[in-house]
């Protein structure tokens, strides 16, 4: 049995999110990483869960070959799968994001990334939400800044 933390990564931007691979690679130094994300973008879906149809999960691989899972359900479904026994180990911590764009003001109530974190905390899991915000540098190039 490993003493390393079990980390779940999910997002609301889906399996094709640009930040998914770098986030996964960065967190591998901190623990055993599992990825369960939606097949498509679920931005603005808030606390949606799948109730009246089967929830489908497929195995896939990230661009670096790391095993991952994608589901036709929402980001909340992704967290629920992990904490209810889909994985070999329940996650010790859930990381949701890195989100495209900022969740500010009233947007936070619609944010799927933020609701994924809330779902994990109701299951007594630690959680962290990250988003990226593109800002212009003095030279006019674009850079990404991450905030919690």
Please provide the DSSP assignment of 135-147 as one string. EE-TTS-EEEEEE
Indicate if the pLDDT at residue 36 is higher than 80: yes
Which whole number is the average pLDDT over 13-33? 93
- Distances in Å between the Cα of 65 and the Cα atoms of 58, 82, 145 are 15, 21, 27
pLDDT of residue 86: 95
pLDDT of residue 46: 61
pLDDT of residue 26: 94
Signed CA dihedral, 69, 17, 13, 120: sign only:
positive
Which whole number is the average pLDDT over 38-53? 82
pLDDT of residue 109: 57
Indicate if the pLDDT at residue 146 is higher than 70: no
Cα distance between residue 38 and residue 80, in whole Å: 12
More confident residue, 54 or 120: 54
Residue 61 gets which letter from DSSP?
E
Question: Could you tell me which of 83, 94, 88, 68 has the C-alpha nearest to residue 123?
Answer: 83
Top-level class of domain 5-147: alpha beta
pLDDT of residue 3: 79
Angle at 2 between CA 78 and CA 94, to 5 degrees: 25
């Amino acid at each position: 049995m490993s003493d390393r933390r079990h980390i779940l990564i999910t997002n609301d931007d889906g399996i094709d999110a640009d930040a998914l691979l770098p986030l996964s690679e960065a967190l591998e130094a901190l623990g055993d990483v599992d990825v369960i994300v939606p097949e498509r973008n679920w931005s603005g879906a808030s606390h949606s869960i799948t109730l009246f149809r089967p929830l489908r999960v497929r195995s896939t691989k990230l661009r670096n070959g790391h095993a991952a899972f994608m589901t036709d359900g929402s980001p909340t479904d992704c967290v629920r799968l992990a904490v209810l026994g889909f994985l070999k180990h329940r996650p010790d911590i859930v990381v949701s994001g890195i989100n495209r764009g900022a969740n500010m003001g009233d947007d936070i109530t619609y944010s799927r990334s933020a609701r994924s974190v809330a779902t994990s905390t109701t299951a007594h899991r630690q959680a962290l939400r990250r988003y990226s915000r593109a800002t212009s540098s003095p030279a006019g190039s674009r850079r990404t800044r991450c905030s919690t």
